Amino acid sequence: MRRRTFLQTSLMAALSASVAAQTRGRPIRLLLCSGWQTVNIGDVAHTPGALAMIETHLPDAEVTLWLYKPLTAAARTMMLRRFPRLTIVEGALDARGDVTAPDVLAAMDRADFFLHGSGPATLGWAHAEAFVRRTGRGFGVHGVTYGLYGIPEKATLSKARFVFFRDSVSLARARADGVRAPIMEWGPDTAFATDLRDEATADTFLASHGLEDQTFLCCISRYRFTPYWLVPGSREPVNPVREARNQEKKEADHAPLRAAIEAVVRETSLRVLLCPEDETQMAITREMLYETLPPDVRRRVVWRDRFWLPDEAISVYRRSAGLFGHEMHSPIMCIGHGIPAIVCRWEEQSSKGIMWRDIGLGDWLFDFDVPAEAAAVPAAVLAIARDPASARRRADAARTRVRDRFRETMAILSREATPVAG
Does residue 167 carry a pLDDT above 90? yes
Does residue 419 carry a pLDDT above 90? no
| Ranges of each domain in the chain | 3-194+401-416, 199-399
Could you say which of 3.40.50.720, 3.30.2010.10, 3.40.50.2000, 2.160.10.10 is the CATH number of the domain covering 199-399? 3.40.50.2000
Between these two residues, 28 and 6, which has the higher pLDDT value?
28
Q: What is the pLDDT of residues 181-216, one digit of tens each?
A: 999 999 999 999 999 999 999 999 999 999 999 999
Does residue 13 carry a pLDDT above 50? no
Section 41-46 average pLDDT = 96
Domains 3-194+401-416 and 199-399 share a fold: yes
Between these two residues, 10 and 176, which has the higher pLDDT value?
176
Q: What is the pLDDT of residues 237-258, one digit of tens each?
A: 999 999 999 999 999 999 999 9
Does residue 24 carry a pLDDT above 90? no
Contact of 41 with 310, CB cutoff 8 Å: yes
| Amino acid at site 185 | E
Q: What is the pLDDT of residues 51-104, one digit of tens each?
A: 999 999 999 999 999 999 999 999 999 999 999 999 999 999 999 999 999 999
Does residue 233 carry a pLDDT above 90? no
Section 292-301 average pLDDT = 98
Give CA–CA dist 158/352, Å, rounded: 21
Does residue 36 carry a pLDDT above 50? yes
Query: What's the pLDDT at 357?
Result: 98
> In three state form, how does the secondary structure of 203-227 look?
HHHHHHCCCCCCCEEEEECCCCCCC
Query: What's the pLDDT at 133?
Result: 96
We find that the CATH architecture of domain 3-194+401-416 is 3-Layer(aba) Sandwich (3.40)
User: Which pTM was predicted?
Assistant: 0.92
Least confident segment among 49-58, 224-233, 305-314: 224-233
3-class SS at 291?
A: helix
Query: What's the pLDDT at 127?
Result: 97
Q: What is the pLDDT of residues 309-360, one digit of tens each?
A: 999 999 999 999 999 999 999 999 999 999 999 999 999 999 999 999 999 9
Work out the pLDDT band at 232, boundaries 50, 70, 90: confident
Contact of 65 with 300, CB cutoff 8 Å: no
Range list of H helices, 237-387: 240-267, 281-288, 295-298, 310-319, 329-336, 355-358, 371-375, 377-386
Classify each residue of 206-244 as buried b or exposed e, where b means 16 or more C-beta atoms within 10 Å of its C-beta.
beeeebeeeebbbbbbbbbbbbbebbeeeeeeeeeebee
Contact of 305 with 323, CB cutoff 8 Å: no
Query: What's the pLDDT at 25?
Result: 74
